[in-house]
Structure 1
Amino acid sequence: MYQSIKENLYRLKENKLFELSVVTVIIISALEIGAKTFELSDQAYSFTSILDAFITLFFLVEICIRFIADNNKRHFFKKGWNVFDTLVVLVSLIPIDNSEMALLARLVRVFRVLRMVSVVPELRVLINSLLKAMPQLGYVILLMFIIFYIYAAIGSFVFKDINPKLWGDIAISMLTLFRIMTFEDWTDIQYETMEVYPWSWVFYLTFIFFTAFAFLNMVIGIVVNVMEEEHASMRKSKEPSLTELQQELAEIKALIKQQSSQQ
């Protein structure tokens, strides 16, 4: 009985229509959260409350289906996305009205939109790639911070008297350099210092070369490389392994021998 229910739920979980319905409910949940940020009439507020209860119940049923249909329940909560989905669903059960946890419940309902990532495999690949790239990105970020710190110290010492609002201390100078790196009106800052120090353009151009060109391209290269590895592992996991093929061949041979012996 239980095995039959489990098989039916597994087929339901793997059904594309079921996956599409989950995505649809997540989109409706996002729209419902956005609607609550506006001033609503009493009827509209009542409708959104009913809709919120339906969405919470739907997600509760969906996570139960996934848990029952899973072949290895001991490892179900060892997967990060399963833990995230379960926490979001459980905290969503907290009543919003007349509760000290009302603010937390509202915030968690916002995170229900992130469930789109756990449902769509392609989005999971992107997030997993970004997380796996973080250790390598850490060294690039550290090196970028060192460059920022050196240039901020130079800028603070040299340009402080020109514009204290932009170069008053090393912290403000780093914010100014971040503005330069993002090309937000950086030429105005450059021309201002060039009126006093004509060769100060060298300071800006070298900084932009190191940060906007060199380091950002390194970040992109690392993320793309990890993403390719993640896609390759995903394709490999979908392909049947050699052991599985050997087992299937052995079963076919055993079946053929059994039929031949009966004849």
Structure 2
Amino acid sequence: MDALKRLVEHPVTERAILALVVINAVTLGLETSPSVMAAYGGPLRVLDQAILAVFVAEIAARLAVRRLAFFRDPWSVFDFLIVAIALLPATGPLQVLRALRVLRVFRLITLAPSLKRVVGALIGALPGMGSIVLLLSLVIYVFAVMATHLYGPSMPDKFGSLGISIYTLFQLVTLDGWSGEIVRPAMEMHPYAWIFFITFILVTSFTVFNLFIGVVVNAMQAEHEAEQIEKTGRPPVSLDDLMQELKRLRGEVAALKGAAAERSA
């Protein structure tokens, strides 16, 4: 069992599995090409099954080494589910499950530490992002009610009902054709409509979306600090901490200079 544990946790094994994941991603992409499948379909299917067999053997080895602790690690459970989905029969009514084989590419997340940090930060940012989504929804709803009253009679295709107005304003949030398709046609009938739409774009696309960025950046910083604490047992030193330490050292140096001057006098 110790030998199996060393094999499973050896860096060479991890790099080999990572290489197989990349190769498997390439083969799954090639299988979408009819011309490639006509010429090399047989070898690609054999290679795909061989890589899947290696993945199954690796998961089985990790299960044997870690036992119940395997299922207490969310990333291990993630690996297990992806490989289990790939083992489901993909014939008859379950033919659609063949498309789910591409989920094996997501194993790159569990094998690359940098990707794990990014995903962990995104998961940690979900509560804050949920609050921002709620705020954005409220803003869109309020502006949609106003737009329906203001522009609904003259532009029923864009603001004829509350639902249509919400969809149109969501298009404005994405800045997809906001000027030529929405704002300029509205200005032909309502010359000052630009005030309404520019205000909406500034509030949503520029302000609220920057809140998204701030939440994600904070989550990334928290993930980095947690990783540093796990590795070193102490949090990383911030710029504020360095400045405080520098001020303390300056104070001590000034006190020493003062004491030296008193002695010399």
TM range (shorter): 0.7 to 0.9
How far apart are residue 13 of structure 1 and its match? 2.1
The residue matched to 1:37 in structure 2 has which SS?
A: coil
Distance 1:67-1:111 versus aligned 2 partners, 3 A rule:
same
| Structure 1 segment 1-263 matched on structure 2, within 5 A | 2=1, 4-9=2-7, 12-15=8-11, 17-40=12-35, 41-42=37-38, 44-70=40-66, 73-96=67-90, 98-104=91-97, 106-188=98-180, 189-239=182-232
Distance 1:136-1:50 versus aligned 2 partners, 3 A rule:
same
TM-score w.r.t. length of structure 2: 0.80
Distance 1:157-1:139 versus aligned 2 partners, 3 A rule:
same
Aligned-pair identity in percent equals: 30
The residue matched to 2:33 in structure 1 has which SS?
A: coil
Q: Distance in 2 between matches of 1:142 and 1:8?
A: 48
Instruction: Tell me the matched-pair count.
Output: 232
Given residue 111 of structure 2, which amino acid in structure 1 is its aligned partner?
A: V
Q: Distance in 1 between matches of 2:233 and 2:194?
A: 59
Q: Deviations 1:144-203 (Å, cap 9, x if unpaired)? A: 101001111111221123322211211221221122122222122212212222221111
Given residue 226 of structure 2, which amino acid in structure 1 is its aligned partner?
A: S
How far apart are residue 238 of structure 1 and its match? 2.1
Query: Does the Cα contact within 8 Å between 2:62 and 2:70 map onto a contact in 1?
Result: no
How far apart are residue 217 of structure 1 and its match? 0.7
Given residue 22 of structure 1, which amino acid in structure 2 is its aligned partner?
A: I
Deviates more, 1:36-45 or 1:116-125: 36-45
Q: List alignment gaps of at least 5 residues for structure 1.
A: 242-263
Q: List alignment gaps of at least 5 residues for structure 2.
A: 235-265
- What does residue 245 of structure 1 align with? none
Distance 1:196-1:91 versus aligned 2 partners, 3 A rule:
closer
Q: Distance in 2 between matches of 1:35 and 1:236?
A: 43
The residue matched to 1:198 in structure 2 has which SS?
A: coil
Given residue 75 of structure 1, which amino acid in structure 2 is its aligned partner?
A: A
Q: Distance in 1 between matches of 2:87 and 2:28?
A: 16
Query: Does the Cα contact within 8 Å between 1:13 and 1:69 map onto a contact in 2?
Result: no
Tell me the C-alpha RMSD between the 2 structures. Answer: 1.9
TM-score w.r.t. length of structure 1: 0.81
How far apart are residue 42 of structure 1 and its match? 4.7
Q: Distance in 2 between matches of 1:95 and 1:46?
A: 19
Q: Distance in 2 between matches of 1:139 and 1:240?
A: 32
How far apart are residue 99 of structure 1 and its match? 4.9
Given residue 26 of structure 1, which amino acid in structure 2 is its aligned partner?
A: V
Q: Deviations 1:45-67 (Å, cap 9, x if unpaired)? A: 21121011111111112223333
Runs of 4+ aligned structure 1 residues displaced above 6 Å come to none
Q: Deviations 1:86-118 (Å, cap 9, x if unpaired)? A: 12212322343x4543322x1331111111111
Q: Distance in 1 between matches of 2:111 and 2:227?
A: 15
Q: Distance in 2 between matches of 1:185 and 1:89?
A: 42
Deviates more, 1:138-147 or 1:42-51: 42-51
Given residue 197 of structure 2, which amino acid in structure 1 is its aligned partner?
A: Y
Q: Distance in 2 between matches of 1:31 and 1:205?
A: 45
